[in-house]
Amino acid sequence: MSRQKVTDSEQGFDAVMARAMTALNAKTQRELAESLGMSTGDFANRKKRGALPHDRLISLASSRNVSLDWLLTGRGNMHLQSDDRPAHEDHPLSPRMRALIDMYQTLSDKDQDEILRDAEEKKRMREMELRIQELSSKVEALKKSG
């Protein structure tokens, strides 16, 4: 699987950080860095590398009721609707999820970024598989009816 940086204009570092600025009402990158709990040097270094601070963006999304999908991709609404809230807000985390989060938090930023890219890729693949199954069923139904 490819480990390329996301370069798409809607998902690149600058685009994601611009949405984070909007969500935080930050006027400058310095304010944004501070709001995300980062030094301006760390922020500048990440910007240069194009390395998103996924853990901090997840925290931002959770604390501000912001859609993580919107924050990372620009798709959908900025704020979650009440029935779009993540399940963990209504239910305690399972031991399995808690263990996953605990392990994730011990990893380096690079490893966390890699895991998130892999998870996003797996999600896209699963969505494509489901769509293919749906279309295959429709094709079969059309063959039978015609």
Assess if residue 20 is contained within a domain.
yes
Domain membership of residue 7 (yes or no) is no
| 67 contacts 61 by C-beta, under 8 angstroms | yes
Q: Is residue 5, in this structure, part of any structural domain at all?
A: no
pTM, full prediction: 0.52
Our count of domains for the chain comes to: 1
Q: What is the pLDDT of residues 65-120, one digit of tens each?
A: 888 889 998 888 988 875 545 544 555 667 788 788 878 888 888 888 898 889 88
The answer to whether residue 43 sits within a structural domain is yes
Residue 126 lies in a domain: yes
- Residue-range definition of the domain harbouring residue 48: 13-145
- State residue 90's pLDDT score: 52
Q: Does residue 4 lie in a domain region?
A: no
User: What is the average pLDDT across 14-40?
Assistant: 92
Residue 98 maps to which CATH number?
1.10.260.40
- Residue 1 is assigned to a structural domain of this protein: no
Q: Is residue 2 part of a domain?
A: no
104: CB partners within 8 A, 6+ apart: 55, 112, 115
- Residue 66 is encoded by which pair of tokens? 């912001």
Residue 133 to residue 68: CA distance in whole angstroms: 27
Provide the token pair at 63: 């604390």
